[in-house]
Amino acid sequence: MSAARSVCTLAEVRPDGENPDSVKVLRLTLQNDLPGKQRDQVKQKPVGRAFAMVANRSSNGHSLASECIKSSDGHEEIIKVYLKARAEDKVKHEQNVCQLKSEVRYIQEARSSLKKLREDISSKLESRQGAKTNLQCAKVMFEKQNGICKPSGYCHRNSLEDQEDDYSGEDIEKIRETAKRFFTKLQEAEKRHQSDKTAFEMTTSQYQKEIEQTSAALKKAEEGMAEKEVKLEEVQRLMSGMEKEHQSLLLKMKEGEAELEKLRNLQNDKLAEQDRSAKLEKEVATLREKIHHLDDMLKSQQRKVRQMIEQLQNSKTVIHAKDVIIQELKERVAYLEAENLEMHDRIEHLIEKQTNPGSYSTRARSKSESASSKRLVKPLGPKPLPLIRVLET
């Protein structure tokens, strides 16, 4: 058992002038099996501890591949694993650090249990060695008293020592096999957790891209709607000016018609008055043509205003649909986050069940209650926009 040791540390390496959200470094130190001569020395060493701290990427921009480094004494193997992270998503980094800390804590618990087993075995071996020394003393006293020959006792003692060594070796092999089995189970759980985490990150990144695209389209639609509103205000201002001009032309036409009636009543007047009446008739004709032209222009402007109002209504409906899509995407992201939390709880439940099978039921109950409390309620959709109808008069 003492021949295999693993140390998992998460160290912080932050150069000067670098952003603290670049890369998280997981350092896993594994000790290889030592030869038989050095096992006694390793038994006296304390159990390795695991530390979890935030780490950053160095300034030289090294690659994010895993590295395998041999230590100075040649009995420890250091594996560095670099995890990518983005500076714009600090919450995700904190969640990853918390997950790594929980995994380190589980490794510490497994190591403490292995330490207890090793202490029990060492206590058993010490008790057996004490019993062995007592047996040897009793044999010596018995030989002195009864004069038993020394070679037979010496052979018996050698056979007992061989049995003791075989028994201790078998115990060490069993403990080593159990430790390897626990370590393989832990690695399988970490692989499953890593695959689930990568799938969740891919889905969240996809949803974030969709949200960004919809928000950009919504922004463009809002800008277009603002431009159309400005154009509509300008057209309305032009229409008001044209209506005022139309009223003034109508007044002029009425005045001309009244004057024409007066001239018609005075048929016996001079030729100058006849010329004046002819001019007034021409002016009335030109004014009628202008009024007709203005009526056509007003109708065309009203048609344009109606089309612009319909376009505004369509753009508002499109914006409303985009808002509904954004709300659904946010709900999906929240649902996936809840599923991720539930998956973390299941993994923690499995690991606690392996390490401490006595108290996993109460923890599972409390975690299930906390996970159920985190369920999100789907909000009601926004109210539909009112229907705008334009009537031409």
Tokens of 115: 């330490």
Q: Give, as one character, the DSSP assignment of residue 8.
A: E
Which of 117-126, 165-174, 213-222, 324-333 has the weakest average pLDDT?
165-174
Which is more confidently placed, 46 or 313? 313
Q: Could you tell me which residues come within 8 angstroms of residue 119 by beta carbon, excluding any fewer than 6 positions away?
A: none
Give dist(CA 22, CA 84) in Å, integer.
Answer: 8
Transcribe 278-301 into DSSP letters.
Answer: HHHHHHHHHHHHHHHHHHHHHHHH
Transcribe 29-60 into DSSP letters.
Answer: EEEPPPPGGGHHHHHTSPPP--EE------TT
Is residue 234 pLDDT above 70, yes or no?
A: yes
Place 315 in a pLDDT band, splitting at 50, 70 and 90.
Answer: very high
Tokens of 370: 């906390």
Number of compact structural domains in the chain: 1
Give all strands of the β-sheet with 76-84 in edge-to-edge order.
Answer: 51-52, 5-10, 23-31, 76-84, 67-70
Give domain status of residue 287, yes or no: yes
| Matching residue, tokens 């040649």 | 74
Quick: pLDDT tens for 23-68.
444 444 444 444 444 444 444 444 444 443 444 444 444 444 444 4
User: What CATH number is given to the structural domain containing 317?
Assistant: 1.10.287
Task: Give residue 169's pLDDT.
Answer: 63
Q: Helix or strand or coil: residue 274?
A: helix
Give domain status of residue 138, yes or no: no
Among candidates 312, 310, 258, which has minimal Cα distance to 284?
258
Is residue 114 pLDDT above 60, yes or no?
A: yes
Percent of the chain with pLDDT over 70: 56
Task: Give residue 145's pLDDT.
Answer: 55
Amino acid of residue 19: N
Task: Give residue 82's pLDDT.
Answer: 46
Which of 252-261, 273-282, 286-295, 364-373 has the weakest average pLDDT?
364-373
Is residue 374 pLDDT above 50, yes or no?
A: no
Tokens of 353: 């069940």
Give domain status of residue 177, yes or no: no
Length in residues, the chain: 393
Stated as kind and residue range, the H or E segment containing 78 is strand 76-84
Stated as kind and residue range, the H or E segment containing 6 is strand 5-10
Q: Are 85 and 96 in contact (CB under 8 A)?
A: yes
Full-model pTM: 0.24
Give domain status of residue 261, yes or no: yes
Q: Could you tell me which residues come within 8 angstroms of residue 355 by beta carbon, excluding any fewer than 6 positions away?
A: 106, 109, 110, 113
Which of 126-130, 233-237, 344-348 has the weakest average pLDDT?
126-130
Quick: pLDDT tens for 143-188.
655 554 444 444 444 544 554 455 456 677 777 788 788 788 878 8
Tokens of 98: 């918390």
Give domain status of residue 269, yes or no: yes
For residue 330, the enclosing domain spans 213-373
Q: Are 69 and 156 in contact (CB under 8 A)?
A: no
Give domain status of residue 224, yes or no: yes
State the CB neighbour count (10 A cutoff) for residue 112. Answer: 12
Give domain status of residue 39, yes or no: no
Give domain status of residue 102, yes or no: no
Tokens of 48: 């390795």
Among candidates 96, 107, 91, which has minimal Cα distance to 9?
107
